């Protein structure tokens, strides 16, 4: 019995030494490092419209909404330009697009089917006027109906970029039944981060 106890004691001691040796060896050849408290902030797709197109991007000149223009005297082969600037206030490059927004109640006589919009790049010199040579590339021409259902892509805008645009509104033909009629439409500018 004494031999069995001695054997168990020696065996236990030997196992303790082996486990300790393996543990020390493992600890000597392993290590761990941690990154703690990683913070992630999502960027924003923030665009603003310039209230006064001759001024810069100071906070007092930026708006989410602008009062739209009033066009009168519309007839066959009519055309008028609306000058505007969109500012990328986001932390990344944005893809800009535009669409019309209306309800049939605001255009009961369906002028939307006869009025076209054609956005252009405006190579503005800063004076707020569309001078000769400043009209750039067209983004396409659509009726207000197609502008709502299909939209128009206006390309990219880098962080801090002001995108100057000319919205050219026009008609080809306009039936006599549309004389004296009016409609109200909103234009919506949207952005998506790239």
The pTM for the full model equals 0.77
Q: What percent of the chain has pLDDT over 70?
A: 77
Question: What span, in angstroms and rounded, lies between the C-alpha atoms of 35 and 30?
Answer: 17
User: Is residue 179, in this structure, part of any structural domain at all?
Assistant: no
Q: Which residues have a Cβ under 8 Å from the Cβ of 55 and sit 6 or more positions away?
A: 61
Structural domain includes residue 69? yes
The separation between CA 109 and the C-alpha centre of its own chain, rounded to angstroms, equals 33
Helix (H, G, I), strand (E, B) or coil at 175: coil
Q: Domains in the chain: how many in total?
A: 1
Q: Is residue 28 in some structural domain?
A: no
3-state secondary structure of 176: helix
Q: Is residue 17 part of a domain?
A: no
Q: Residue 77: give the domain boundaries.
A: 47-174+188-193
Task: Lowest mean pLDDT of 55-64, 95-104, 119-128, name the range.
Answer: 95-104
């Amino acid at each position: 019995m004494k031999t069995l106890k001695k054997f168990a004691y020696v065996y236990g001691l030997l196992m303790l030494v082996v486990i300790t040796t393996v543990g020390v060896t493992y600890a000597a050849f392993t290590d761990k490092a941690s990154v703690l408290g990683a913070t992630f902030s999502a960027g924003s797709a923030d665009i603003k419209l310039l209230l006064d197109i001759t001024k810069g991007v100071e906070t007092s000149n930026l708006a989410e909404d602008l009062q739209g223009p009033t066009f009168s005297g519309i007839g066959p082969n009519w055309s008028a330009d609306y000058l505007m600037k969109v500012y990328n206030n986001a932390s990344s490059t944005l893809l800009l697009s535009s669409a019309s927004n209306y309800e049939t109640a605001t255009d009961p006589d369906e002028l939307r089917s006869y009025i076209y919009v054609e956005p252009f790049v405006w190579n503005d010199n800063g004076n707020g006027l569309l001078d000769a040579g400043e009209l750039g590339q067209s983004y396409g021409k659509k009726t207000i109906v197609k502008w709502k259902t299909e939209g128009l892509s206006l390309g990219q805008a880098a962080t801090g970029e002001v995108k100057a645009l000319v919205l050219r509104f026009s008609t080809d033909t306009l039936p006599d039944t549309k004389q004296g009629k009016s409609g109200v439409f909103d234009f919506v500018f949207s952005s998506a981060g790239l």
